[in-house]
Amino acid sequence: MHRACPRPLTASTVLGWPLRRSYRHATAHVGDQEVRWGERTLIMGVLNATPDSFSGHGVLDRPDLAVELATAMASVGADVVDVGGESTRPGAADVAPEEQIRRVVPIVAGIAAAVSVPVSIDTSSALVAAAALDAGAVMVNDVRGLRAEDLAALVAERDVPVVIMHNQRLQPSGDDVIGDVRQGFEAAIDRATAAGIGTHRLIVDPGFGFGWSTGQNLEMLRRLPELWYLGLPLLVGTSRKSTIGAALADPGGHPRPAAGRDWGTAATVAQAICAGVDVVRVHDVADMADVVAVTDAIVR
């Protein structure tokens, strides 16, 4: 016996029903590739060129290995490879722009020459972003939401896509998760437009894991459809983060280590896609590509 739908399909309907979103701009270009928002979920593969990231890849000072890893990511479904030279985990030390450049530029250049998928540079520094763009990157991922005026000016000058993240560590409040994210997004969009960045170049990231408690991170995932009003593509990066470790804690309350969080990550990826996310940022591209394909088949 078939059960009738008990409620109308609205933006608050998250799991179990196909969702509809509207976008300010139906298409975008990332490098020479055209993206049609809403047709499928894009996968951003993470490639950390750091010694201290909780999900480092051992490619620091090994651009040859980085190219191999990026090639493998592309072969199993990555749409973008995101290269970073500074860990953003809680408590990580700042890395000078000159050291970030030393770490990432050979890797970006090697990947751009060998792999057809676009390369993104994960940085909040205009100096690092400029060097990476010169080396072949075609996109910027800024976890500080364009607070640096020189980075905003650079993105406008180069006319490249930019991910602007709401970073709760920089404006702690926590009374209303989505309210704080909205406020952060609107301020970041104002900074972008003031610098001359077209809204067709913007992708927004609510900053899962950046200054939120476990409960707040999970609430964020449940309430993602409340961010549709912006009309901008949404990116979410939950991969292997501490909230997943907490949800998978053992009976003694010890969080699951990062290396054992991929199945938990899969659950958050599926939930985010059901909630209308356009890009998922992940470490394990091969397995998450299967999650994306099946979830897209259900909700798209």
Question: Which domain CATH number covers 291?
Answer: 3.20.20.20
pLDDT at 15: 47
Considering only CA atoms, which of 124, 228, 241 is closest in space to residue 181? Answer: 228
CA 295 – CA 142 distance, rounded (Å): 27
pLDDT at 58: 66
Least confident of 1-15, 56-70, 249-263, 274-288: 1-15
CA distances in angstroms from 223 to 13, 70, 96, 281, listed in the order given: 10, 32, 36, 19
CA 223 – CA 274 distance, rounded (Å): 11
Tell me whether residue 224 is in a domain: yes
Tell me whether residue 118 is in a domain: yes
Is 254 a residue whose pLDDT tops 50?
yes
Tell me whether residue 16 is in a domain: no
Is 150 a residue whose pLDDT tops 60?
yes
Mean pLDDT score, 147-157: 98
15-51 tens-digit pLDDT: 444 457 899 999 999 999 999 999 999 999 999 998 8
As for how many domains the chain has, the answer is 1
Tell me whether residue 157 is in a domain: yes
Considering only CA atoms, which of 70, 66, 150 is closest in space to residue 117? Answer: 70
* Biggest CA pair distance of the chain: 65
pLDDT at 2: 38
139-149 tens-digit pLDDT: 999 999 999 99
End-to-end Cα distance, the chain? 25
pLDDT at 90: 77
Order of strands, sheet of 119-122, starting from the edge strand that comes earlier in the sequence = 202-205, 162-165, 139-142, 119-122, 80-84, 42-48, 279-282, 235-236
Positions marked catalytic: 241, 281
Mean pLDDT score, 223-233: 96
pLDDT at 219: 96
Residue 57 domain boundaries: 41-299
pLDDT at 186: 96
pLDDT at 93: 84
Tell me whether residue 32 is in a domain: no
Confidence of residue 8 (pLDDT cuts 50, 70, 90): very low
Joined together, the tokens standing for residue 241 give 């983060």
| Matching residue, tokens 């907490």 | 246
pLDDT at 12: 43
Mean pLDDT score, 221-239: 96
Contact, 206 vs 236, CB < 8 A?
yes
Tell me whether residue 25 is in a domain: no
167 or 300, greater pLDDT = 167
pLDDT at 14: 46
Confidence of residue 61 (pLDDT cuts 50, 70, 90): confident
CA distances in angstroms from 119 to 37, 70, 135, 194, listed in the order given: 19, 9, 10, 26
Contact, 66 vs 57, CB < 8 A?
yes
For residue 8, the one-letter residue type is P
Is 173 a residue whose pLDDT tops 90?
no
| Matching residue, tokens 């000078």 | 96
Tell me whether residue 6 is in a domain: no
Tell me whether residue 34 is in a domain: no
Mean pLDDT score, 189-213: 97
Mean pLDDT score, 198-227: 96
